[in-house]
């Protein structure tokens, strides 16, 4: 398949792995920020292929996993209201809230529908003017421009029965929080290619300068990651705290200026609570005051709903790269994809789901250095 097979070629994979092995004089601790990259690493056994060169630490870049519990509970409080048509991407349906999830709520009679984009939700608002249509706007900088555009369009067309429940998070402040932690052991980063496609990588250059760590912006296919890791190991071995771009077929240094502008027009930066991690200053987005009529939390008065996590779930340390999923006592026992206790076991990008799906139950090899 064009644009897929050429990034999964086994011979090229062996060459990149060999190149990395030749360069590495030690085992480097590197963080792949994005959950999609975590799945590629585990699914294709890249971590095992390069076991003697890298110790991958899985980052907080799974949008479903970091959506705070109180947002899930607020989503369900809104979806349960009479007259509401609640729309969401499919991967949010089974994320556990304090007591239930959206799929169960739907089974109980709430009108919860899966959509492929916020524009689909906006079309539903136009089709059913007597209903209140709400879209669950979750994710990183990648999904935020389309969500911003839906609000901008709703205002332009004067569609008043549409609103969004905003739970957007930003990657650079999360990396800054990881690096600012006195226990941080990460020595280099694979930066998320899809986020950088929108935002560019100037912010990562600032982080590299401030914390003296290298970054490589990489894609999601096995060869993208193998090449990205090779580039990162080269930087680490030469002691350079720089940013390199492996994903040049998609990412420009300045990003997508049109997408960045719509983001800036509709959203403003705010403090944000990350599920399992807590509040990270300046790491979220909220609607600007001129768009507050489209803010579902305000419209349905659910801002005060708070929640507390299961004591068994160690999603916080897993999302911060401090623990691996198999270190969780609930992993694969009381927490499975069929009966998830925490979001990392549900999401397509969650580290716990990756370890479970690809049978990573065995013990970790002790660190060499």
Site of interaction with ligand SF4 (CB under 6 A): 312-315, 318, 325, 328, 330-331, 335, 341-342, 344-345, 352
Nearer to ligand SF4 by C-beta: 39 or 286? 39
Place of tokens 């990396």: 175
- How many Å apart are CA 237 and CA 132, to the nearest integer? 56
SS3 at position 162: strand
Q: List the helix and strand counts (H, then E) for the chain.
A: 16, 11
**Among the listed residues 274, 227, 218, the one whose alpha carbon sits nearest the alpha carbon of residue 249:** 218
Least gap, CB of 353 to ligand SF4 (angstroms): 8
Least gap, CB of 93 to ligand SF4 (angstroms): 16
Least gap, CB of 219 to ligand SF4 (angstroms): 26
* Residues 6 or more apart in contact with residue 231 via CB below 8 angstroms: 216, 244, 246
Beta bridge partners of 54: 28
Least gap, CB of 207 to ligand SF4 (angstroms): 27
Nearer to ligand SF4 by C-beta: 11 or 338? 338
Q: Are strands 162-169 and 278-287 parallel, antiparallel or unpaired?
A: antiparallel
Nearer to ligand SF4 by C-beta: 258 or 312? 312
Nearer to ligand SF4 by C-beta: 148 or 352? 352
SS3 at position 349: coil
Nearer to ligand SF4 by C-beta: 151 or 330? 330
Nearer to ligand SF4 by C-beta: 145 or 316? 316
Nearer to ligand SF4 by C-beta: 232 or 341? 341
- Long-range Cβ pairs for the range 330-337 (8 Å, 24+): 331/355, 331/356, 332/356, 332/361
Cβ-contact 334, 356 below 8 angstroms: no
* H/E stretch holding 62: none
Least gap, CB of 100 to ligand SF4 (angstroms): 17
Least gap, CB of 60 to ligand SF4 (angstroms): 13
Least gap, CB of 95 to ligand SF4 (angstroms): 10
What's the CA angle centered on 47, arms 45 and 48, to 5 degrees? 65
Nearer to ligand SF4 by C-beta: 284 or 350? 350
Nearer to ligand SF4 by C-beta: 288 or 337? 337
Please count the other Cβ atoms lying within 10 Å of the Cβ belonging to residue 2. 5
Nearer to ligand SF4 by C-beta: 54 or 330? 330
Q: Residue number with the shortest CB distance to ligand SF4?
A: 342
* Residues 6 or more apart in contact with residue 313 via CB below 8 angstroms: 276, 328, 330, 335, 341, 342
- How many Å apart are CA 90 and CA 309, to the nearest integer? 22
Least gap, CB of 314 to ligand SF4 (angstroms): 4
**Among the listed residues 266, 273, 244, 259, the one whose alpha carbon sits nearest the alpha carbon of residue 173:** 273
- How many Å apart are CA 324 and CA 315, to the nearest integer? 10
**Among the listed residues 73, 68, 102, the one whose alpha carbon sits nearest the alpha carbon of residue 87:** 102
Least gap, CB of 367 to ligand SF4 (angstroms): 21
Least gap, CB of 202 to ligand SF4 (angstroms): 34
Place of tokens 């004591």: 311
């Amino acid at each position: 398949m064009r644009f897929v097979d050429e990034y999964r070629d086994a011979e090229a994979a062996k060459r990149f792995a060999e190149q990395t092995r030749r360069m590495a004089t030690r085992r480097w601790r590197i963080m792949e920020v994005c959950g999609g990259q975590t799945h590629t690493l585990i699914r294709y056994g890249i971590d095992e292929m390069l076991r003697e060169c890298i110790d991958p630490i899985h980052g907080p870049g799974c949008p479903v996993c970091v959506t705070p519990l109180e947002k899930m509970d607020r989503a369900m409080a809104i979806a349960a209201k009479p007259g509401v048509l609640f729309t969401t991407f499919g991967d949010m349906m089974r994320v556990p809230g304090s007591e239930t999830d959206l799929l169960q709520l739907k089974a109980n009679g709430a009108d919860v529908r899966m959509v492929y984009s916020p524009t689909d939700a906006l079309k539903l608002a136009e089709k059913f003017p007597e209903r209140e249509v709400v879209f669950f706007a979750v994710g990183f900088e990648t999904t935020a421009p389309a969500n911003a555009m839906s609000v901008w369009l709703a205002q332009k067309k004067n569609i008043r029965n549409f609103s969004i429940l905003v739970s957007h998070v930003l990657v650079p402040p999360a990396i800054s929080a990881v690096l600012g932690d006195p226990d941080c052991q990460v020595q280099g980063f694979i930066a998320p290619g899809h986020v950088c496609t929108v935002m560019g990588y100037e912010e990562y250059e600032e982080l590299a300068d401030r914390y003296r760590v290298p970054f490589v912006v990489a894609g999601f296919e096995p060869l993208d990651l193998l090449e990205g890791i090779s580039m990162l190991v080269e930087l680490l071995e030469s002691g350079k705290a720089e940013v390199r771009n492996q994903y040049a077929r998609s990412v420009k240094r300045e990003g997508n200026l049109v997408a960045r502008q719509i983001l800036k027009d509709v959203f403003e930066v705010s403090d944000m609570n990350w599920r399992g991690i807590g509040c990270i200053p300046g790491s979220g987005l909220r609607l600007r005051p001129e768009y507050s009529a489209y803010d579902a939390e305000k419209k349905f008065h659910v801002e005060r709903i708070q929640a507390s996590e299961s004591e068994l779930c160690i999603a916080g340390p897993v999302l911060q790269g401090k623990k691996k999923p198999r270190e969780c006592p609930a992993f694969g026992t009381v927490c499975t994809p069929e009966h998830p206790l925490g979001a990392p076991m549900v999401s397509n990008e969650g580290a716990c789901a990756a370890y479970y799906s690809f049978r990573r139950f065995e013990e970790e090899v002790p660190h060499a250095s």
